[in-house]
Structure 1
Amino acid sequence: MIAGIGIDVVDLARFARSLERSPKLRERLFTEAERGLPVHSLAARFAAKEALIKALGGSHGVRWHDMEIVPDEERNPGFVLHNVVGRQVAERGIARIHVTMSHDAGIASAFVVLERDA
Protein backbone atom coordinates (compact mmCIF):
# COMPACT_ATOMS: atom_id res chain seq x y z
CA MET A 1 0.00 0.00 0.00
CA ILE A 2 1.33 3.46 -0.90
CA ALA A 3 2.02 5.56 2.18
CA GLY A 4 3.44 8.67 0.50
CA ILE A 5 4.58 10.15 -2.80
CA GLY A 6 7.01 13.01 -3.40
CA ILE A 7 8.59 14.68 -6.41
CA ASP A 8 11.12 17.48 -6.79
CA VAL A 9 12.84 19.28 -9.67
CA VAL A 10 16.10 21.27 -9.47
CA ASP A 11 17.49 23.74 -12.00
CA LEU A 12 21.10 22.59 -12.53
CA ALA A 13 22.59 26.00 -13.35
CA ARG A 14 20.94 27.64 -10.33
CA PHE A 15 22.04 24.77 -8.08
CA ALA A 16 25.64 25.03 -9.36
CA ARG A 17 25.65 28.79 -8.69
CA SER A 18 24.37 28.18 -5.15
CA LEU A 19 27.20 25.73 -4.48
CA GLU A 20 29.75 28.20 -5.88
CA ARG A 21 28.41 31.14 -3.85
CA SER A 22 28.11 29.15 -0.62
CA PRO A 23 30.95 26.62 -0.36
CA LYS A 24 29.65 25.29 3.00
CA LEU A 25 26.35 24.36 1.33
CA ARG A 26 27.87 21.15 -0.09
CA GLU A 27 28.87 20.06 3.43
CA ARG A 28 25.50 21.02 4.89
CA LEU A 29 23.39 19.17 2.29
CA PHE A 30 25.44 16.06 1.58
CA THR A 31 27.20 13.32 3.48
CA GLU A 32 30.93 12.91 3.06
CA ALA A 33 30.40 10.02 0.61
CA GLU A 34 28.10 12.15 -1.59
CA ARG A 35 30.12 15.40 -1.68
CA GLY A 36 32.65 14.42 -4.33
CA LEU A 37 30.04 13.68 -6.99
CA PRO A 38 29.52 15.92 -10.03
CA VAL A 39 27.04 18.78 -9.71
CA HIS A 40 24.33 17.06 -11.77
CA SER A 41 24.47 14.04 -9.43
CA LEU A 42 24.37 16.27 -6.35
CA ALA A 43 21.35 18.13 -7.74
CA ALA A 44 19.54 14.83 -8.35
CA ARG A 45 20.34 13.71 -4.79
CA PHE A 46 19.09 17.00 -3.40
CA ALA A 47 15.87 16.51 -5.39
CA ALA A 48 15.55 12.97 -3.99
CA LYS A 49 15.97 14.20 -0.42
CA GLU A 50 13.35 16.91 -1.02
CA ALA A 51 11.02 14.35 -2.59
CA LEU A 52 11.43 12.08 0.45
CA ILE A 53 10.57 14.99 2.78
CA LYS A 54 7.44 15.66 0.71
CA ALA A 55 6.47 11.97 0.74
CA LEU A 56 6.81 11.98 4.55
CA GLY A 57 4.59 15.06 4.76
CA GLY A 58 7.07 17.57 6.13
CA SER A 59 10.54 18.32 7.36
CA HIS A 60 10.05 18.79 11.10
CA GLY A 61 13.31 17.77 12.80
CA VAL A 62 14.87 16.47 9.58
CA ARG A 63 18.56 17.09 8.87
CA TRP A 64 20.07 16.66 5.44
CA HIS A 65 22.62 14.12 6.67
CA ASP A 66 19.75 11.93 7.93
CA MET A 67 19.19 10.95 4.28
CA GLU A 68 21.92 9.50 2.10
CA ILE A 69 21.54 8.19 -1.44
CA VAL A 70 23.57 5.04 -2.08
CA PRO A 71 23.52 2.57 -4.96
CA ASP A 72 22.42 -0.99 -4.28
CA GLU A 73 24.24 -4.04 -5.66
CA GLU A 74 22.61 -3.44 -9.07
CA ARG A 75 23.58 0.28 -8.99
CA ASN A 76 19.98 1.43 -8.44
CA PRO A 77 19.64 4.39 -6.07
CA GLY A 78 18.31 3.86 -2.58
CA PHE A 79 18.21 5.66 0.76
CA VAL A 80 20.19 4.98 3.90
CA LEU A 81 18.33 6.76 6.69
CA HIS A 82 19.57 7.95 10.06
CA ASN A 83 18.23 9.66 13.18
CA VAL A 84 14.90 11.52 12.83
CA VAL A 85 14.14 10.37 9.30
CA GLY A 86 14.94 6.75 10.13
CA ARG A 87 12.64 6.92 13.17
CA GLN A 88 9.82 8.57 11.20
CA VAL A 89 9.96 5.87 8.54
CA ALA A 90 9.99 3.08 11.14
CA GLU A 91 7.17 4.63 13.20
CA ARG A 92 4.98 4.93 10.10
CA GLY A 93 5.54 1.30 9.17
CA ILE A 94 7.21 2.11 5.86
CA ALA A 95 8.54 -1.16 4.47
CA ARG A 96 10.09 0.11 1.22
CA ILE A 97 11.23 3.39 -0.27
CA HIS A 98 11.34 3.57 -4.05
CA VAL A 99 13.42 6.39 -5.55
CA THR A 100 14.32 7.35 -9.08
CA MET A 101 16.50 10.25 -10.16
CA SER A 102 17.27 11.81 -13.52
CA HIS A 103 19.09 14.78 -15.01
CA ASP A 104 18.77 16.15 -18.53
CA ALA A 105 18.30 19.46 -20.35
CA GLY A 106 19.42 21.55 -17.38
CA ILE A 107 17.09 19.89 -14.88
CA ALA A 108 17.57 17.25 -12.18
CA SER A 109 14.50 15.47 -10.87
CA ALA A 110 13.56 12.77 -8.40
CA PHE A 111 10.45 10.81 -7.52
CA VAL A 112 9.92 8.91 -4.24
CA VAL A 113 7.20 6.42 -3.29
CA LEU A 114 6.83 5.16 0.28
CA GLU A 115 5.25 1.74 0.63
CA ARG A 116 3.76 -0.13 3.60
CA ASP A 117 3.00 -3.81 3.66
CA ALA A 118 -0.71 -4.38 3.22
Structure 2
Amino acid sequence: MIGAVGTDSIEIERIQRAVDRWGERFLNRMFRPEEIDYCRSRPRPYQHYGARFAAKEACMKCLGRGVWGGMGFREIETVRDEEGRPGLVLHGYAGEVFERSGATHLHLSLTHTETIATALVVMETRETGRPGKCLE
Protein backbone atom coordinates (compact mmCIF):
# COMPACT_ATOMS: atom_id res chain seq x y z
CA MET A 1 0.00 0.00 0.00
CA ILE A 2 1.16 3.55 -0.65
CA GLY A 3 1.92 5.28 2.63
CA ALA A 4 3.17 8.62 1.34
CA VAL A 5 4.38 10.43 -1.77
CA GLY A 6 6.92 13.22 -2.11
CA THR A 7 7.94 15.18 -5.19
CA ASP A 8 10.32 18.02 -5.94
CA SER A 9 11.62 19.94 -8.94
CA ILE A 10 14.59 22.26 -9.18
CA GLU A 11 16.01 24.47 -11.89
CA ILE A 12 19.39 23.13 -12.98
CA GLU A 13 20.70 26.70 -13.08
CA ARG A 14 20.21 26.99 -9.29
CA ILE A 15 22.48 24.01 -8.72
CA GLN A 16 25.06 25.34 -11.16
CA ARG A 17 25.06 28.76 -9.47
CA ALA A 18 25.51 27.15 -6.04
CA VAL A 19 28.43 25.04 -7.28
CA ASP A 20 29.98 28.05 -9.03
CA ARG A 21 29.66 30.14 -5.87
CA TRP A 22 30.47 27.60 -3.12
CA GLY A 23 32.31 24.83 -5.01
CA GLU A 24 33.34 21.77 -3.03
CA ARG A 25 31.81 23.18 0.15
CA PHE A 26 28.33 23.04 -1.41
CA LEU A 27 28.86 19.62 -2.98
CA ASN A 28 30.19 18.08 0.22
CA ARG A 29 27.34 19.52 2.26
CA MET A 30 24.62 18.19 -0.07
CA PHE A 31 26.00 14.95 -1.50
CA ARG A 32 27.86 11.85 -0.41
CA PRO A 33 31.22 11.14 -2.13
CA GLU A 34 29.72 8.38 -4.31
CA GLU A 35 27.04 10.76 -5.57
CA ILE A 36 29.63 13.42 -6.42
CA ASP A 37 31.78 10.85 -8.24
CA TYR A 38 28.78 9.63 -10.24
CA CYS A 39 27.68 13.13 -11.27
CA ARG A 40 31.21 14.11 -12.26
CA SER A 41 31.42 11.01 -14.46
CA ARG A 42 28.43 12.15 -16.55
CA PRO A 43 28.58 14.47 -19.59
CA ARG A 44 26.17 16.98 -17.94
CA PRO A 45 26.94 16.78 -14.22
CA TYR A 46 24.66 19.64 -13.14
CA GLN A 47 21.57 17.83 -14.40
CA HIS A 48 22.54 14.81 -12.32
CA TYR A 49 23.27 16.92 -9.24
CA GLY A 50 19.86 18.53 -9.74
CA ALA A 51 18.07 15.19 -9.98
CA ARG A 52 19.77 13.96 -6.81
CA PHE A 53 19.01 17.19 -4.95
CA ALA A 54 15.36 16.90 -5.97
CA ALA A 55 15.36 13.25 -4.81
CA LYS A 56 16.61 14.26 -1.37
CA GLU A 57 13.94 16.94 -0.98
CA ALA A 58 11.21 14.62 -2.29
CA CYS A 59 12.31 11.95 0.18
CA MET A 60 12.22 14.43 3.08
CA LYS A 61 8.68 15.37 2.10
CA CYS A 62 7.68 11.72 1.79
CA LEU A 63 9.03 11.04 5.28
CA GLY A 64 7.02 13.99 6.58
CA ARG A 65 10.00 16.07 7.62
CA GLY A 66 10.60 18.58 4.85
CA VAL A 67 13.86 20.46 4.53
CA TRP A 68 13.72 21.83 8.09
CA GLY A 69 12.71 18.55 9.74
CA GLY A 70 16.11 17.68 11.18
CA MET A 71 17.49 15.53 8.35
CA GLY A 72 20.72 16.34 6.61
CA PHE A 73 20.91 16.10 2.83
CA ARG A 74 23.80 13.63 3.10
CA GLU A 75 21.60 11.26 5.13
CA ILE A 76 19.67 10.55 1.94
CA GLU A 77 21.80 8.89 -0.72
CA THR A 78 20.77 8.23 -4.30
CA VAL A 79 22.11 5.00 -5.75
CA ARG A 80 21.68 2.94 -8.91
CA ASP A 81 21.12 -0.79 -9.08
CA GLU A 82 22.86 -3.15 -11.52
CA GLU A 83 20.35 -2.27 -14.23
CA GLY A 84 20.68 1.49 -13.72
CA ARG A 85 17.42 2.05 -11.81
CA PRO A 86 17.64 4.79 -9.18
CA GLY A 87 17.06 4.05 -5.51
CA LEU A 88 17.59 5.53 -2.07
CA VAL A 89 19.74 4.53 0.89
CA LEU A 90 18.94 6.28 4.16
CA HIS A 91 21.55 6.99 6.82
CA GLY A 92 21.37 8.40 10.35
CA TYR A 93 18.20 10.20 11.38
CA ALA A 94 16.57 9.68 7.96
CA GLY A 95 16.98 5.92 8.40
CA GLU A 96 15.52 6.11 11.91
CA VAL A 97 12.45 8.01 10.67
CA PHE A 98 11.97 5.44 7.91
CA GLU A 99 12.21 2.53 10.36
CA ARG A 100 9.67 4.10 12.73
CA SER A 101 7.27 4.87 9.88
CA GLY A 102 6.27 1.26 9.26
CA ALA A 103 7.38 1.59 5.64
CA THR A 104 8.80 -1.34 3.74
CA HIS A 105 10.30 0.33 0.67
CA LEU A 106 10.96 3.66 -1.02
CA HIS A 107 10.56 3.88 -4.80
CA LEU A 108 12.38 6.66 -6.68
CA SER A 109 11.84 8.07 -10.15
CA LEU A 110 14.14 10.76 -11.58
CA THR A 111 13.91 12.83 -14.72
CA HIS A 112 15.53 15.96 -16.09
CA THR A 113 15.61 18.22 -19.09
CA GLU A 114 18.33 20.72 -19.85
CA THR A 115 16.74 23.18 -17.41
CA ILE A 116 14.73 21.28 -14.76
CA ALA A 117 15.24 18.13 -12.66
CA THR A 118 12.33 16.34 -10.97
CA ALA A 119 12.11 13.47 -8.51
CA LEU A 120 9.19 11.42 -7.21
CA VAL A 121 9.44 9.24 -4.10
CA VAL A 122 6.71 6.75 -3.16
CA MET A 123 6.74 5.09 0.27
CA GLU A 124 5.33 1.58 0.40
CA THR A 125 3.89 0.25 3.67
CA ARG A 126 2.48 -3.05 4.92
CA GLU A 127 -0.36 -1.50 6.86
CA THR A 128 -3.57 -0.01 5.64
CA GLY A 129 -4.96 3.00 7.39
CA ARG A 130 -5.48 6.68 7.14
CA PRO A 131 -3.05 8.74 5.04
CA GLY A 132 -0.24 10.17 7.11
CA LYS A 133 -0.31 7.32 9.64
CA CYS A 134 3.39 6.77 9.09
CA LEU A 135 4.07 10.30 10.33
CA GLU A 136 2.82 9.75 13.90
Cα-to-partner distance string for 1:42-87 (whole Å, 9 max, x where unaligned): 1100000000001111142211111110101221000111110111
1:43 is the counterpart of 2:50: yes
C-alpha distance in 2 between matches for 1:74 and 1:90: 26
Residue 53 in structure 1 maps to residue 53 in structure 2 = no
* Alpha-carbon distance between aligned partners in 2 of 1:95 and 1:79, rounded to the nearest angstrom: 13
Write out per-residue CA displacement over residues 80-108 of structure 1, whole angstroms, 9 at most, x where no aligned residue.
11110111101111101010001114100
- Structure 2 residue ranges without an equivalent (≥5): 40-44, 128-136
Q: Per-residue deviation at 1:17?
A: 0.8
Whether 2:49 is the aligned partner of 1:64: answer: no
Matched, 1:85 2:100: no
Give the TM-score normalised by structure 1.
0.95
AA aligned to 1:32 is: P
Q: Which runs of 5+ in 1 are unaligned?
A: none
Give the distance between the partners of 1:67 and 1:57, measured in 2 at CA: 14
Q: Identical aligned pairs, as a percentage?
A: 36
Report the AA paired with residue 19 of structure 1: V
CA RMSD of aligned residues (A): 1.1
- Give me the whole-angstrom Cα distance separating, in 1, the residues matched to 2:106 and 2:63: 11
**1:9 paired residue number:** 9
Q: What is the TM-score of this pair, normalised by structure 2?
A: 0.83
Moved over 4 A (4+): none
- Whether contact under 8 Å (2:8, 2:55) holds in the other structure is yes
Structure (1 or 2) with the larger CA radius of gyration: 2
